[in-house]
Amino acid sequence: MDNDISRRTFAKVAGVAALSTAMPTVAAAEAAEPAIVAPGRLFPRGFLWGSATAAYQVEGAATEDGRGPSIWDTFSHTPGKTVNGATGDIADDHYHRYKEDVQLMKALGVKAYRFSIAWPRVFPQGSGAPNPKGLDFYNRLVDELLANGIKPFATLYHWDLPQALQDNGGGWESRNTSEAFARYAGYVAQHLSDRVRNFFTINEFGAFVELGYNNSIHAPGLRLPPARFNQTRHHAVLGHGLAVQAIRANAKPGTRVGLAENMTICCPVIENEAHTKAAERATREMNAPYMTVIQEGKYTDAYLAGAGADAPRFTAADLKSISSPLDFVGINIYTPTWVRADDSPLGFTAVKNPNSYPHMLSSWLTIGPEALYWGPRNVAKIWKVKEIYITENGCSSSDVPAADGIVYDTDRVVYLRNYLSHLQRATADGIPVKGYFLWSLMDNFEWADGYTNRFGLHYVDYETQKRTPKLSASFYREVITRNSVA
C-alpha cells in the first residue's frame, strides 16, 4: 500500500532544528527534534520559495527623491475612502528600511522576493522625462537582494498609476495609458534587466480595474457606465501586451516576462468528471476579460454577447499584442469559486453556502485550500502553460501580540498549512508550479482597509516601525527548509 506510512523511506532533514536567532518564536520547541519528511510530500527540487510586497503598500517616502503623486495618494487622502483615513505616506518606511527588510527575508530563508516598482517614482508624470533618482531606489534594493542571495522578481504595475495620467484622459480609460505603460516598462527593463531577470507586467486586473473603475472602492474611485468600463478593461490588457513587447525589445537577452493575475479560481464542488469539466468551462468564461483573452487572443463569444452594444472596441492587432507569448503565468490565489455542472447554456453555475461559509479577517477572504490545486491545474490544462508561479497567497488575521511580544497566529498557520498541502498535491501531479510567493513579508497598507487587516509574516508596530516575526514566520521557515509542509 503506497500510503502505508511504515513502508515509506523518511528523509531526515538536517538543519531544520537550527532556526535562526532572528526568529525567536517558539525557539525551544523548534530546537528539540530533527524533522522527518515523507518523500511523497516533498515539493520538487529547486522549488522557489518567496515572499511578496508592493510599492505603495510598504515604501512610504511618498514625496521623496522626485516621486510624483499616484492615484492612490489622491484617493487615500480623500476623506472617507480608507479605514481611519489611512494613507501610504509612511507605510512600512521600507524606502529607508529596505536593508533591514532584506535581512528579514534572509532569516526566513526565502530565495526570491516579489516587489513592485512605483511608476510615479520612475516617471513622475507617467510619461515624458524619467527621474533617475526614483529608479535608483530599485537599483539599491536589487543590489541588496542579490548580495544576500535573493532573486528579485519585479512587478511593473501594482496599482499606483501616476495621477497625471488619470487627470489627462482618465487613466486606463485611455489607450494613451496603455502606451505610456509600455514605454515605462521598456525603460525599466532596459535599466534593470542586467540584474532583474524576471518581470511581471501587471498585478491583478481583476482587482484594480473592477474595484477602481466599476465599484469605486479603490482608486481612482469611479463607477463608469458599462461601455466605458469594458473599454477600460481592454486598455488594461492591451497595456500588458504592449509592455511584454517593450520588455522584449529593451531588455537583456533571456529576460523573462509574465503577469500576476487574481483569476477566478474555479474548483469543482465534487471532484468527478462532470463537475471538473464544468470548472474548466467556468475558468474560461469567468476570466474572459483578462486571462482568457491574454491566453487565447480573443474574447469569448459569451463575453461579447453578454456585453452586447457595450462590448469593447478593438482591432486584430490589439488582440495579437494582448496575447504576446509569455514565459510564465503568475496567479494570485486566495479564495475558491465553487462550480457545479448543470444544463444551463454555459453548462456551469457558481455556488456557495451564503451565511456559514468560513473566512479570514477580510470578509472577502473565504477559505478553500483546494484553490491552490485547481488554480494551477486549470491554467496548465486549458492553456497548456508550462511554467506557473503562485505570485500571491496568504491571509489576514486579527493579529495581537501576546505578553511575550509574539503574535501566535495559529489561524494563519492553519490556513497556510492547508493551502500549501494542496499546492504540493499539484506539484506531485506534475502540474508545473515552479514557485510560491507568500503575501506578505510584513503587515502593510491594505488599500481601502488601511492598516486594519494584517497579512504579514512579520508584525509591524506602526508607531515604532519595529518588525517582529509571527508564529507563521517560523512555520514558513520550516516549510522552506524541509521543502515540505508536513
Residue numbers at the binding site for ligand NOJ (CB under 6 A): 54, 57, 203-204, 332, 392, 439, 446, 455
Of 56 and 137, the one with the shorter C-beta distance to ligand NOJ is 56
CB 391 within 8 A of CB 379: no
Q: What minimum distance in Å lies between the beta carbon of 115 and ligand NOJ?
A: 12
CB 167 within 8 A of CB 176: no
Phi, psi of 113 (to 5 degrees): -135, 125
Of 202 and 247, the one with the shorter C-beta distance to ligand NOJ is 202
The 3-state secondary structure of 94-146 reads: HHHHHHHHHHHHHHHCCCEEEEECCHHHHCCCCCCCCCHHHHHHHHHHHHHHH
Report the alpha-carbon distance of residue 179 to residue 326 in Å, rounded.
19
Is residue 390 helix, strand or coil? strand
- β-partners of residue 198 are 153, 256
Q: What minimum distance in Å lies between the beta carbon of 199 and ligand NOJ?
A: 16
Of 59 and 204, the one with the shorter C-beta distance to ligand NOJ is 204
Of 190 and 362, the one with the shorter C-beta distance to ligand NOJ is 362
Of 57 and 250, the one with the shorter C-beta distance to ligand NOJ is 57
CB 34 within 8 A of CB 13: yes
Q: Which among 30, 392, 446, 478 is annotated as catalytic?
A: 392
Q: What minimum distance in Å lies between the beta carbon of 422 and ligand NOJ?
A: 19
Q: What minimum distance in Å lies between the beta carbon of 114 and ligand NOJ?
A: 10
Q: What minimum distance in Å lies between the beta carbon of 400 and ligand NOJ?
A: 20
Of 204 and 478, the one with the shorter C-beta distance to ligand NOJ is 204
Q: What minimum distance in Å lies between the beta carbon of 247 and ligand NOJ?
A: 20
The residue among 181, 179, 144 whose CA lies nearest residue 162 is 181
How many C-beta neighbours within 10 Å does residue 307 have?
A: 18
β-bridge pairing 337-341 and 348-350:
antiparallel
Buried-exposed string 9-38: b where 16+ CB fall within 10 A, e elsewhere: eeeebeebeebeeebbbeeeebeeeebebe
Q: Which among 59, 204, 261, 446 is annotated as catalytic?
A: 204
Alpha carbon 337 to its chain's center: 18
204 belongs to the catalytic site? yes
Q: What minimum distance in Å lies between the beta carbon of 35 and ligand NOJ?
A: 30
C-alpha cell at 463: 508607531
The angle at the Cα of 216, spanning 213 to 222, to the nearest 5 degrees, equals: 50
C-alpha cell at 228: 466605458
CB 168 within 8 A of CB 217: no
Of 206 and 312, the one with the shorter C-beta distance to ligand NOJ is 206
Residues classed as catalytic? 204, 392
